[in-house]
Structure 1
């Protein structure tokens, strides 16, 4: 294992495309966690935003969960059934432990999720960057969550706690907010209302001069519906707990893999589908 003394920078096709921040300075009440920011296209266009004024707890590309056994690893207020969004002293922290591998184009990291003075989850995170051509590259992110305890715990979301349509929690990408809302589409549907809360092999978010194409790369990930925002703010994530809480038995592990195409320009459906196929099978 190579010791790392600075924040790792991901390189692709000889260019820096992402920086990994082990502990973003988000202030109290925002569930500190490692995140990728800034992330950019090969042409240098930024495609992430971190701690924006509208949602200070949105941190570039991260793994964020609003309810792990009642603790908030998302940040901000917690949705409480019958009360709505509520400020609670229940925020957890994702702590970097070590890099098992750290190369210019990727890394393997061990983390622990702690809250309430105890350890709730152990995580193994794998991140890699690979080229897809002169104007596109792929970010491959896998996270494995293991319950180290002796009792089952479960992951929830505002949706499972009584807020319809708010099943966020898992992989989450906050894109830059621009003057116009980004276009969002899948192979079969167009528009935020049509794609939010649905499963799809891939989902594209296209802004001013950039396109992100997200794909679940495991059977379990493909079964997770997409959480999508475009009009209010640009963000895409997975839904670990959509209609019901996700249980993790003692000693068990939950694995999810999301591959994201990061492209210059605005892709159409055919180009988005072709690039994401290459990215997932690379």
Structure 2
């Protein structure tokens, strides 16, 4: 891959993320652009790429397991009355161009293609903003337009018969550590209490990995190499639009650390021809383990409400 394929996001001159536009991945992983590694300002890695437990988890991005029967998530497809099934139904998200590209963000155009046909066209806007000397915000918006002549619908394993598995949409795979991260909202705590809720914000707090990508001042940060780091970290996810706040959160902590939105929680989500679906999630990336009050204050600063 060339440097053009892997722009580096910067906050106050520090590299905090790398965006891979054209990953070389097998079809089974539903190839798609992703952000990885993403780090705190101190350099602690807070994303994972193709981990052993779920090879199709690719850092930060947009992944949908069912678009009119096509799998843009990767891995097996949940089939009603059969369970997880290996199918030759994987789609891919293809980066076509940057409409805007700056050190602190970009606007990209993508095509969602399956079975030789384009189903959706995406406009993706990503921006990195400094909040404090120990926290920054990743502002991630995606707009999906149905470019076919007929209606499409978005589903999930939950809508296909697997309770509690309504994943699909924005998804952040965090780094797996020896201990599971803490999960909390303004008024709930623990994976069981938080999963499936429609909280304004949700926090995932880890203990710090022994290795992470990129010391802020190291040359390795430029190349995407790994550097020693550590310390606790907190990710605070906030829905920044009314539609996004209506989507329940998908949360995993004990099995693996990951947070995403649920576009299709209990029912399939229709997208008519020419219709555009828009979602925006702002994620606070902080060094240290934040308390509720600190998390809420940083969300207000990041989202402006």
State which of 243, 254, 262 in structure 1 corresponds to 2:277: 254
Gaps of 5+ in 1: none
Local SS of the residue matching 2:167 = coil
Match of 1:197 in 2: 196
CA distance in 2 between counterparts of 1:25 and 1:164 reads 33
Aligned to 1:24: 23
1:69 corresponds to 2:65: no
After TM superposition, list the pairs within 5 Å mapping 1:66-215 onto structure 2.
Answer: 66-208=65-207, 209-215=232-238
List per-residue Cα deviations over 1:181-227 (Å, max 9, x = no partner).
00000001000000001100000000010000000000000000000
- Asked if 1 retains the 8 angstrom alpha-carbon contact of 2:5 and 2:20, the reply is no
Task: Give 2:286's aligned residue.
Answer: 263
SS of the aligned residue for 2:93 comes to strand
**Alpha carbons 2:5, 2:21 under 8 Å: kept:** no
Structure 2 residue aligned with 1:235: 258
User: What do the CA deviations read for 1:119-155 (whole angstroms, capped 9, x no partner)?
Assistant: 1000000000000010000000000000011111100
> Which residue in 2 is equivalent to 1:216?
239
Distance 1:257 1:231 in 2: 26
Q: 1: distance between equivalents of 2:52 and 2:250? A: 21
**What is the CA distance between 1:26 and its match in structure 2?**
3.2
Per-residue CA deviation, residues 151-184 of structure 1 (Å, 9 max, x unaligned), is 1110000000000000000000000000000000
Contact residue 120 and residue 147 of structure 1 kept, 8 A: yes
CA RMSD of aligned residues (A): 0.9
**Aligned mates of 2:267, 2:67 — CA distance in 1:** 13
| Aligned mates of 1:138, 1:49 — CA distance in 2 | 18
Deviation of 1:7 (Å) = 1.2
TM-score, normalised on structure 2? 0.90
Aligned residues, how many? 279
Alignment partner, residue 280 of structure 1: 303
Cα deviation, residue 5, structure 1: 2.7
Deviation at 1:23, TM superposition (A): 2.5
Secondary structure of the residue aligned to 2:31 is coil
Alpha-carbon offset, residue 27 of structure 1: 2.5
Any conservation in 2 of the 1:26–1:56 contact (CA below 8 Å)? no
d(CA) in 2 for partners of 1:129, 1:258: 12
Partners of 2:38 and 2:245 lie apart in 1 by: 24
Q: Structure 2, unaligned stretches of length 5 or more?
A: 208-231
Rounded Cα–Cα distance in structure 1 between residues aligned with 2:243 and 2:164: 20
Task: Determine if contact 1:19/1:38 at 8 Å carries over to the other structure.
Answer: yes
SS in 2 for 1:220: helix
Question: Which contiguous aligned blocks of 4+ residues in structure 1 show a shift greater than 6 angstroms?
Answer: none
The separation in 1 between residues aligned to 2:272 and 2:131, in whole angstroms, is 38
> Under a length normalisation based on structure 1, what TM-score does the superposition of the two structures give?
0.98
